[in-house]
Amino acid sequence: MTRTIWLASYPKSGNTWLRMLIANLASQDAPADINDLPERGGISSARAPFDHLTLIDSSLLTHEEIDCLRPRVYEKLARGAQDDEYDAPEAALPVRFVKVHDAYTLTPKGEPLLAGRGGAEGAIVIVRDPRDVAPSLANHNRTSIDDAITFMNDRNAGFCVKTSRQYNQLRQQLPGWSGHIVSWLDQADIPVHLVRYEDMQADTAGTLKQVLAFAGRSATVEEINRAVKFADFAQLQEQERTKGFREAPRPHAGKKFFRRGEAGAWREELTAEQAARIEAEHAPMMRRLGYELAGAAPLARTG
Amino acid sequence: MHFYTLSGLTVASEIVLPGALACAHPAVADVTVRAGPVPATLAEPTYTGPIWQIAVNEVLLSVPDIARFWLKDGREIAFQADTAADEADVTAFIVGSVFGILLHQRKYIALHASAVCVNGKAILFCGASGAGKSTLAAALGQRGYSLLSDDICALSIPANGAPIAHPDGRQLKLWANSIDRLSLAERRAGRLRRTLEKFYVEPPEATSTPLPVGAVYVLREARPPHAPGIERPNVVDATVLLRRNAYRPLLVIRMEQRADYFRAAAALAGTAGIFHLTHAFNFARMPDTLGMLERHWQELGLLEKAA
């Protein structure tokens, strides 16, 4: 049976890049279309599969009531129910990779939101230096960098949280950058493979190979090298430039999904105060992940 | 008992059903709604979903902390409410998801669609929850197009001629944000549930007679690679689109009704047309969408061309 593996990350940490790399393993002559990926496990928080499989209308439920039912949906999907049976792939994929931004939390009834072992066999947790996440998140959320930092420091934050309107996606709890990562790293339900964005950038093929080994998906050296070439950041940017990206922020002048993608660009994008705010809140997790603190050291530039 | 018309069916209910159109006492009601008891499982299920089971002529739906619903032969809805639930919690599900499932059970072509009336024809807007069906129907209501149905639209397919859409004259269901952005506060009725900022909204005008379908639009958000506009998919794609926009596509499969939806799609494609309506999820762009629709209705001959 197809194995389910979560691709779990805080937003703007390289999740989509890794998905693009995996999707391009099957590409032969040309890069996979970023708007029509052959391997499309979707995102855990998508609303339509919930309604489809439960038969009820999620818009009649509160966020908490939805959370109580989400484990049932993930169990069903992991056991092979397609979220859209009309589009069931002809040949079953060896591994179903599903993007997740939800923190690893418990429902109000005390069970894992993502159904523990019943929902997936493991999780690839992708992390990125929070100082690089902040400017990217500001771009994505259309906020200032200061507001993005406030969001990353807020242990009650989330996506799709309002109760006065309907979103395409279900609520995703994002209890701060550190809180999100610790929820995944310290849960004991499923094995975790940790990937740092910076390592993925420094050695893309090597990182991808380890990811696939963890997930139990075989790939040849040629397939991996081709995927690295086809999902190169500049290549993804070029596709977004010419035809747009369906997962990008809602149409808005100048806002791109594949924005910069560099490691360490925060030195040019953050003020000393902004970097200090991030470090003050997240130092323990940054140290745990090997992100060096700038501390009171002078920064390249301010303003 | 309380009596209503929902999707063209007469309903006799032990409890008040908010949002539904009240009617006179029918000689024989098509559907009855009564309080429990409801079993925890069905005796001989043919399929078990996450919170539901189906058997021959039966569906059991268990919504935790709200109620269990037992649908029999498309004629009877029994409910057993959870002790923590209040009546509105239960009725919101009865007039919504449960009735939609019942329409599948009755072998209607049950679409996840809202519909308005344009010159005596039913115009349907299909899409998943959140696609903008109710909001669009509400905005068209403000332009004088009367409401035919909200969220669920039942079709019957005659031997020849256009498929018929059944009205329910029910109230729209809108989120607080949509009510605010469309300035519909004056028409706002009760909350669907005490815990939700979603309200019943009285349409300015509602149609209570069955109408032939004039066009079916499947709503799609304007995101790359799809720009705002109306296009007509080929007949094969249109067939798939219609099935996917059944109220609950999974029931079409489990109740072995795929062939019925195939025939319905052929009938709709031949008499009315199935279209993709790609629109921005943005209230500021609503006038563009309405203008695009009215121009399309002129092209289709549903509206007279502007002088």
CATH number at residue A16: 3.40.50.300
Integer Cα distance of B248 and B105 in angstroms: 11
Site from B48, B86, B129 to mutate, A interface, most A CB atoms within 10 angstroms: B129
Domains of chain B are 2-106 (no CATH), 111-299 (3.40.50)
Q: Are A149 and A275 in contact (CB under 8 A)?
A: no
Chain B touched by A248 (CB under 8 Å): yes
Query: Please, which residues have CB within 8 angstroms of residue B107's CB and are 6 or more apart in sequence?
Result: B74, B255, B257, B260
- 8 Å CB contact of A168 and B250: no
Is the predicted pLDDT of residue B213 greater than 90, yes or no? yes
Q: Tell me: pLDDT of B21 over 90.
A: no
State the pLDDT at residue B62: 97
Give the one of B61, B92, B280 whose C-beta lies nearest to A55's C-beta.
Answer: B61
- The pLDDT of residue A81 is above 90: no
Place of tokens 């004629």: B75
pLDDT, average across residues B134-157: 96
Q: What residue in A sits closest to B59 (Cα-Cα)?
A: A55
Q: Nearest by CB to B250, from A53, A244, A245: name it.
A: A53
Query: Which residue blocks in A216-300 are alpha helix, DSSP H?
Result: 221-230, 233-243, 266-269, 272-289
Residue B113 banded pLDDT, cuts 50, 70, 90 = very high
Least confidently predicted of A119-133, A211-225, B166-180: B166-180
Q: Do A166 and B49 touch (CB under 8 A)?
A: no
Closest among B34, B39, B35, B33 to B55, alpha carbons compared: B39
Q: Do A73 and B221 touch (CB under 8 A)?
A: no
Is residue B23 pLDDT above 60, yes or no?
yes
Residue A272 lies in a domain: no
The residue with greater pLDDT, A82 or A170, is A170
Are B130 and A59 in contact (CB < 8 Å)?
Answer: yes
Q: What does chain A come to in residues?
A: 303
Of B51, B151, B225, the CB nearest to A54: B51
Does A148 map to a domain? Answer: no
Sign of CA dihedral A246, A248, A254, A258: negative
Q: Assess contact for B15 and B90: CB atoms under 8 A.
A: yes
Provide the token pair at B134.
């109710």
pLDDT at position A251 is: 58
Q: Are A149 and A277 in contact (CB under 8 A)?
A: yes
Please indicate whether, in this complex, the C-beta atoms of B248 and A48 are within 8 angstroms of each other. Answer: no
- Which residue in chain A has the smallest CA separation from B152? A57
The whole-chain average pLDDT of chain B stands at 94
The pLDDT confidence band at residue A298, using thresholds 50, 70 and 90, is: very low
pLDDT exceeds 60 at position A88 = no
Is A206 part of a structural domain of the chain?
Answer: yes
Residue A238, CA distances (Å) to A29, A232, A259 in order: 17, 10, 11
Q: Give the residue from chain B lying closest to A73, CA to CA.
A: B50
The average confidence (pLDDT) of chain A is: 90
Kindly provide the ipTM of the predicted complex, given to two decimals. Answer: 0.94
Using the Cβ of A79 and the Cβ atoms of chain B, whether some distance falls under 8 Å is answered with no
The span from the CA of B18 to the CA of B86, in Å, is: 13
For range B119-145, the mean pLDDT: 95
Residue B170 C-alpha, separation from nearest chain A C-alpha, in angstroms: 17
Chain B contact residues (CB < 8 Å to A): 49-52, 61, 63-65, 92-93, 96-97, 101, 128-130, 151, 175-178, 192-193, 195-198, 221-225, 240, 243-244, 248-251, 253, 280-282
State yes or no: pLDDT of A45 exceeds 60.
yes
Nearest to A35 among B92, B151, B224 (CB): B224
pLDDT tens digit sequence for A283-297: 999 999 999 999 855
Instruction: Report yes or no: A4 and A121 within 8 Å, Cβ to Cβ.
Output: yes
CB contacts < 8 A, A to B, total 108
Residue A288 to residue A129: CA distance in whole angstroms = 12
Out of A49-58, A213-222, A259-268, B53-62, least confident range = A259-268
Q: Tokens standing for B109?
A: 């072509």
Contact between A51 and B196 using a beta-carbon 8 Å cutoff: no
Confidence of residue B305 (pLDDT cuts 50, 70, 90): confident
Which candidate in A37, A59, A76 is best for mutational testing of the B interface (most B CBs within 10 A)? A59
- Mean pLDDT over A92-101 rounds to 87
Contact B52 A55 (CB under 8 A): yes
In-domain check, residue A280: no
Q: What is the mean pLDDT of residues B166-177?
A: 90
Q: Given A69, A164, A246, which is nearest B175 (Cβ)?
A: A164
Q: How far apart are CA A74 and CA A205, in angstroms?
A: 30
Range of the domain at A191: 3-128+156-258
Contact (CB<8Å) A246/B224: yes
**Residue (of B38, B174, B188, B138) closest to B98 by Cα position:** B38
pLDDT of residue A207: 98
Residue A179 belongs to some domain of the structure? yes
The Cα–Cα gap between A287 and A291 comes to 6
The reply to whether residue A52 touches residue B249, judged by beta carbons under 8 angstroms, is yes
Q: In this complex, do A60 and B93 lie within 8 Å of one another by their Cβ atoms? A: yes
> CB distance B101–A55 less than 8 Å?
yes
What percent of chain A has pLDDT above 90? 72
How far apart CA A41 and CA A95 sit, in angstroms, is: 10
E-state strands within chain A: 3-9, 95-100, 122-127, 158-159, 172-173, 192-196
pLDDT of residue A75 exceeding 50, the answer is: yes
pLDDT of residue A303: 40
Chain A closest-CA separation from residue B100 CA (Å): 9
pLDDT band, very low/low/confident/very high, at A299 (cuts 50, 70, 90): very low
Q: How many domains does chain A have?
A: 1
Which one of A59, A85, A246 has the shortest CB-CB distance to B253?
Answer: A85
Residue B91: the pLDDT is: 96
Question: From A166, which residue of chain B is nearest by alpha-carbon distance?
Answer: B130
Residue A211 lies in a domain: yes
Residue A279 lies in a domain: no
- pLDDT tens per residue across span B238-253: 999 999 999 999 999 9
Q: pLDDT class for A260, splitting at 50, 70, 90? A: confident
